[in-house]
Structures are given as structure tokens and as C-alpha cells.
A and B are shown apart, each in its own frame.
Chain A
Amino acid sequence: MHNILLIAKREYLEQVRGRTFLITTILLPAIFAGVFYLSFLSGKSSGVGKHIAVACGDAKLAGEIRTEILADPEAKATVDVFTPEMDGMLMDSDKAKLIAEVDEKKIDGFLWVDVPANGPIQATYEAQTSGDFVTSERLQSALNHALLRGRLVQDGISASAVDGLMKDVKIDTQQVKSGKEVKSNALSSFYSAYVMALLLTMTTMIYGLNVGRSVIQEKASRIFEVMLSTAKASHMLSGKLLGVGAVGLSQIGIWVAAGAVFAGSAFGMQLLSGNLKIHISPLQVTLFAVYFLLGYTLNAALFAGLGATLETEQELQQYSPLAAVPVWLSFSMILLISTNPNSPWVVAASLFPPCTPIVMFLRMGSQMPPMWQIGASVALMLLAIWAVLWFSTRLYRIGILMYGKRATLPEMMRWLRYS
């Protein structure tokens, strides 16, 4: 134990005193905060301030669509009603004219509403950008509202009664926690969990890879033989995992402390209000530390074993996508996780050790998973760590004394048998 602690202390001090630690401690949260604030702002401003033309053979309907679009103050749209060449009928030449206006960037797009005498109404939105789903949704809602309004009025309901009937009602979100209603903001809960999951991903990957890199550097510096004459290979690996893990925890500790100070400041309180209000419970903070340690140890054990079989850091870089696979897998399920956090697929992913830390935190953004699932996920991760460590220690024990070339798969299999 004495040697493990000594090795851990050396590893910790070397990394903490390094320039990389200082840079990542300051830059990583700054980049994160910047990226998320920007994405939040861009989310708020997407589909805003568009200049749209509404083309419809029925001038009355076109006017009502315009009124509906302008009724949404967040849209800040400019809406023109297009007058067709022939009254009451849209022609191909009208469309060509509108396309030319889009091309010349006079308008952002146009809504083409075809009202045939018989058959259903057909509508198309043609615009400079194809992916503006916010504007498409707004236009669809405006068109449907206008059509419904027209039909109701046609059926003899007074305009004021129609206004009353069609008034939008805003839904307030409340979360039920332990049988009690708690005020919640779905967007900010999602963002908080998303940020924590991403931070967890970055730290476990960075520090896991750090262990692999450190093994390769020590191998290149030929220090292992001196070390092995005083310490066991398993102690060396344990010390390294402990030391680098402590560096990660220290960095997270610094971020939490700095975050708490910022959130408590007047500027922080002003900034983190409304949709940006952060909801992070003490349980989430504790679980963040637990999942960091587990996720880090799993990655670190994997890369320590791998590092021992390689010769250069460039070779290690080629294997880094290995650590990214569970991240891609987890984030590809983000829609399902946020809308249905207890579906069997999501529960299965959160119990699959490589995905557990990320999926669990994304689930927490919608709903805190049951304690038995958290307990099971921790147990399964411990089991996975044990299994990976079993292989890695064996590869490490022999690989650190093998110089000159990258180990082949048959060689690695032989090393496993030797140990």
C-alpha cells in the first residue's frame, strides 16, 4: 500500500503541476459555458425575423394566414400576401416570380397554398434554407389555425367566439417527485443533465486516455525496469489509476467550487434565471463523482492495458475512437431518453457499463431513475471494471517490458496465458 500511495502521489503531482491541467481546468468549462450559452441563444433565435410571402388563390385565406403568423410575437416575422397575376388563381408564372424573389434574397421563402375546387388543400413552403423546421412548424400552425377559423366562421360561429375558442393555452411543467409536485422547467433540466453528461464524457475519456498516454511515456523513458525492481506491476498500475483519478476529481472539485461561487454571485444569479436556471441536486453531484470514478476507471483500465502493448502516443490515438463508441451510442438515444426515460431500451443502455454514466445522467434530466437501477448500474460497472482490470493487468505486466514494436493479437493472447 505504501508504494501504491507513493506512485499515486508522484503521478498526481506531475499531472497537477503540468501546463495541461491548468489549461483544461480553465478552458474546458469556459468552452462548455460558451458553447451552451450560444446554442441556447441560437435555439431561441432560430426561425426568428423571417420575411415570408403567402401565395394563395383565396385572398381571404392568405390574409388570415398572415394574421396568424404575425400573432406570434416571438416570430418577429414580416409577411407579405402575394397577389397572383390572375385574380383567384395561382399560375406557374406566379411561382416563377416568387422563386426569383427567393433567389434574389428579397424574401426568405414563400408559402404556396393551393386550394382546388375539389379535393384537399395542398401547401408547400419553399425557402433559401431547407432545414428551417421552426419556420415550417410556425407556418403549418398558422395555416391550420386560419383554415379552422374560416371553417368555424363559415359554420355560423361568431368571430369573437372563434377567437375565444382558438386561444392558445400555455402548459406549465410540474414534476412529481416522491409523491409531491415540484416546479420544474423541462428545458433547463434537460440542459443541466446534458451539460453534466457531456462533462462526464469528456473527463472520463480525457483521464482514461491520460493513463494510456502515461504508460506509453514511461515505456518510452524505460523507467519500468527500475520501478519493477522495487514495486509490483499491479501496484504500479493501481498507483497510476489512483493518481490520475485523483487529478480528475480535483479538477471536478475546482469546477464545482468555482460554479458554486459563480452561481451565488449577483451576475450569476441574474444570468442563471428563467430557462437557464440550473437544477442540480446534491444527489446528482454525488452521483456525478461516483459515475466519474467508475467511468474513468473503466476507460483507464482499458487504456492502461492497451498502452502497454503499444510504442507511441500516435498509435494510442488510433484506438481512441474505442472510448468514443459508447458516447456516440448514448447520445444517439438522446431523444428517446428525454421523452421516455424508462423505456426498456433506455433502461438497458443505462445498465450497459460503457454507456451507464452518460445515459444515467441524461435520464436524470427528465426523471431521476429508480434507486435499484442506480445500484444495479454501479454493481455492473464494478463487475466490468474487474473484468477489464483482469485483462489489462496481465497485458500491462508483460507489455511494459516489451520494446521495439507494437504487440500483435497472438502475442497479446500469449501474454494473457503467461500471466
Chain B
Amino acid sequence: MPVVELAEVTKAYQDKVAVNRLSFRIEPGQMFGLLGPNGSGKTSSIRMMIGITAPDSGAITLFDKPFTRDSLTRVGYLPEERGLYKKMKVLDQLVFMGGLRGLAAGEAQKRAVAWAKRLDIAQSILKKTEELSKGMQQKIQFIAALMHEPELIIMDEPFSGLDPVNATLLQDTLLELKAQGKTILFSTHRMDQVEKLCDSIALIHQGNLVLSGRVREIKGRYKRDRVVIEFEGDAGFLESSEIAEAKNYSGHAEIKLKENGDAQKLLAEASAKATIYRFELVEPSLEEIFIQSVGGKADA
């Protein structure tokens, strides 16, 4: 039973088709990445999933039922366009948001305090929002999306604007939630973030689905034709007949092999000329797969 299912969903604004016959499904407990460059239709797809806008055609089901607003109490949403009431105190704000999602005031307050401690902002809970830094405000929005313990968590560009420490903190929190069995959808144009977090992805470009499925399976479909070598000594092996393209950054070389290039042969040639500290046959990144799939027309 999928938690979210989009079937042939289309949405157009005037002449521009934002989403074109998009179909994918998210299974329970999955961490799902909705990927694509800016303006590819990610936010439009998410807005339709939670009823902010309606699709022109196609069907959306949430928790195996056609979309109704009642099911939104089971969803936690962090939009890309984030906002808070600036003059409100943090705690009041969280209790208000909890109330909108069906929590009683006392319970909402208890959970808000617990989450604030967990994300290390307990000392700011009685301050007005406008007094807090951008990173802290983002944590509050994160709490607002999660405090009612939703089964489905939707995060649109959740790490944008965060410093590395806070990005890691929120990333770890998402992984904990996944371990608890929550289903998580996050959309991003930063494909490197998704590789280590997501089980499955849908890659969209100009409103069209480019590819979808489990990350391992998708990557498995593409040949390992890239080599990273860290070395000291003569770089003459970079002229090898096995190599199609090579970039040398003073002892760190990134190489693309020819169609039938032999990595083992290259290793032998490199060892003969230089001291090798690292030789790795790497699989293509999602970004490379994306560029390959859209024929180099991506604007990411």
C-alpha cells in the first residue's frame, strides 16, 4: 500500500506546463528523493500532493485513498518558501501550529519544549521569532512540521540556507525518523545530498519524469567508467590509451575511461610511473546520470 501515489498528474499555469503526466509512488518507511533542477516542477508536484493546488488531470492518492484535507493531519510539511509569524513568541507559534494540526494546547506545548531541547534551541523558546537567527528559525519550522508526529514527512529543500553543523543535525533527525518507520519525501536540486540519504528517487526535468526507482538499481544501470587516482610522481600515465578524458589537480586525477577502457590496465600503467595512494573505480553520480539522461540540456 503506497503512502503517496501520483498517476499521470498534469498541472499547467497559462501556457507553461509545470508538471506533465507525472507518475510515481512512495512506499511506507521509504526515504524518497524528488530531484530536479530549479523550476523542474518539484514544488508544483508537492503542492498538489497536499492540496494547496489541484491537478488539471491525473489522480493523487494519500495513504491509499483519494486526496482529502482530513488526511493532512497525518502529514508534516516544510515548504521551500518558509515563513513564521515574526512578532510571535516561539512557543506560542509552535502551540498554534500544533493546534492547527489537531494537538491540544497542553500537549502541543509539551512536545514543542521536548523538540526544542532535542534541536538545542530550548533557550530561545520564549523569545520572539524576529530575534532569532535564520538557522534557528529554520529549526522552529522543522519542529512545526514534525511535532504532531506525522506518518508522512514532506520537506522541500530542507537543508538550503543551513550551516553544515545544523544541516547534519537535521539530517540525523530525519534518519532517526526513518528508523522509526516514518515515510519521508524530500525534494532538492542538490543531488549529492540525496545519494546517501534516499532509498528511492524520482528525477524530473521540465515537468517530465526522467527516471525513477531505487537509487541502487538506477546507479546499477550505468557503467562504472570513472576513476579517481591519488598519486605522487610522474603523471605520464594520464596519456594512456584507456583514457577518454582526464583532469589532474596536483596529485588528484579524475578520469573518464574510453567506451571499452580497461581500469586494471590503467592501474598497472599508473603503478609503473607513480606511487598510488588511492585508486577507485567510481559509479556515476546522480547528477551525472541526470545530465546524461536529459542529454546535457539540464540547467542545474
Give the residues in chain A near B75, CB-CB below 8 Å.
229
| Best-buried of B14, B79, B82 by chain A (most CB within 10 Å) | B79
Report the Cα distance A221→B84, complex, angstroms: 6
Q: Which of B8-67 contact A (CB under 8 A)?
A: 14, 50, 52
Give the residues in chain A near B100, CB-CB below 8 Å.
3, 6-7, 227, 230-231
Given contacts A3-B100, A6-B99, contact A221 B86 (CB under 8 A): yes
Task: Please tell me if B197 contacts chain A, counting CB pairs below 8 Å.
Answer: no
Task: Please tell me if B289 contacts chain A, counting CB pairs below 8 Å.
Answer: no
Do the beta carbons of B79 and A226 come within 8 Å of each other?
yes
Report the Cα distance A401→B79, complex, angstroms: 12
Report the Cα distance A301→B199, complex, angstroms: 47
Do the beta carbons of B81 and A222 come within 8 Å of each other?
yes
Nearest-neighbor residue (CB-CB) of A222 within chain B: B83
Q: Which of A1-31 contact B (CB under 8 A)?
A: 3, 6-7, 10, 14, 18
Report the Cα distance A229→B50, complex, angstroms: 6
Given contacts A401-B52, A414-B14, contact A225 B99 (CB under 8 A): no
Report the Cα distance A344→B81, complex, angstroms: 54
Report the Cα distance A221→B81, complex, angstroms: 9
Task: Please tell me if B279 contacts chain A, counting CB pairs below 8 Å.
Answer: no
Report the Cα distance A419→B171, complex, angstroms: 38
Nearest-neighbor residue (CB-CB) of B53 within chain A: A401
**B261 CB, nearest partner CB in chain A, Å:** 49
Do the beta carbons of B81 and A403 come within 8 Å of each other?
yes
* 0/1 string, A204-235, CB within 8 A of B gives 1: 00000000000000100111111111111000
Do the beta carbons of B79 and A225 come within 8 Å of each other?
yes
Q: Which of B69-90 contact A (CB under 8 A)?
A: 69, 72, 75, 77-88
Given contacts A222-B82, A229-B50, contact A14 B88 (CB under 8 A): yes
Do the beta carbons of B77 and A229 come within 8 Å of each other?
yes
Do the beta carbons of B79 and A221 come within 8 Å of each other?
no
In the complex, besides A222-B82, A414-B14, 14 extra interface pairs with C-beta distance below 8 angstroms are A6-B96, A6-B99, A7-B100, A218-B83, A221-B84, A221-B85, A221-B86, A222-B81, A225-B80, A225-B81, A226-B145, A230-B72, A230-B100, A231-B100
Binding site for B on A (CB under 8 A): 3, 6-7, 10, 14, 18, 218, 221-232, 401, 403, 414
Do the beta carbons of B83 and A224 come within 8 Å of each other?
yes
Given contacts A225-B52, A226-B141, contact A232 B79 (CB under 8 A): no
Q: Which 9 A-B pairs have the closest CB atoms?
A: A222-B83, A223-B83, A225-B79, A229-B77, A230-B100, A222-B81, A221-B83, A228-B52, A6-B99
Report the Cα distance A232→B77, complex, angstroms: 15
Do the beta carbons of B144 and A226 come within 8 Å of each other?
yes
Task: Please tell me if B111 contacts chain A, counting CB pairs below 8 Å.
Answer: no
Binding site for A on B (CB under 8 A): 14, 50, 52, 69, 72, 75, 77-88, 96-97, 99-101, 141, 144-145
Report the Cα distance A269→B72, complex, angstroms: 60
Report the Cα distance A3→B69, complex, angstroms: 13
Do the beta carbons of B79 and A229 come within 8 Å of each other?
yes
| Best-buried of A14, A222, A223 by chain B (most CB within 10 Å) | A223
5 contacts between A and B (CB under 8 A): A10-B96, A221-B84, A225-B79, A226-B145, A229-B79
Select which of A7, A14, A226 is within 8 A of B83 by beta carbon. A226
Nearest-neighbor residue (CB-CB) of A18 within chain B: B87
Report the Cα distance A270→B237, complex, angstroms: 107
Give the residues in chain B near A229, CB-CB below 8 Å.
50, 52, 72, 75, 77, 79
Given contacts A6-B99, A10-B96, contact A226 B77 (CB under 8 A): yes
Give the residues in chain A near B145, CB-CB below 8 Å.
226
Report the Cα distance A3→B52, complex, angstroms: 16
Given contacts A14-B88, A401-B52, contact A226 B72 (CB under 8 A): no
Give the residues in chain A near B97, CB-CB below 8 Å.
226, 230
Give the residues in chain B near A14, CB-CB below 8 Å.
85, 87-88
**A408 CB, nearest partner CB in chain B, Å:** 13
Report the Cα distance A122→B81, complex, angstroms: 79
Report the Cα distance A125→B144, complex, angstroms: 77
Give the residues in chain B near A401, CB-CB below 8 Å.
52
| Best-buried of B14, B87, B100 by chain A (most CB within 10 Å) | B100
Give the residues in chain B near A226, CB-CB below 8 Å.
77-79, 82-83, 97, 141, 144-145
Give the residues in chain B near A403, CB-CB below 8 Å.
81
**B134 CB, nearest partner CB in chain A, Å:** 13
Report the Cα distance A201→B90, complex, angstroms: 36
Report the Cα distance A357→B8, complex, angstroms: 53
Report the Cα distance A367→B175, complex, angstroms: 74
Give the residues in chain B near A231, CB-CB below 8 Å.
100
**B143 CB, nearest partner CB in chain A, Å:** 12
Do the beta carbons of B52 and A230 come within 8 Å of each other?
no
Give the residues in chain A near B88, CB-CB below 8 Å.
10, 14
Report the Cα distance A226→B144, complex, angstroms: 9
Give the residues in chain B near A7, CB-CB below 8 Å.
100
Report the Cα distance A232→B81, complex, angstroms: 18
Report the Cα distance A225→B43, complex, angstroms: 11
**B48 CB, nearest partner CB in chain A, Å:** 12
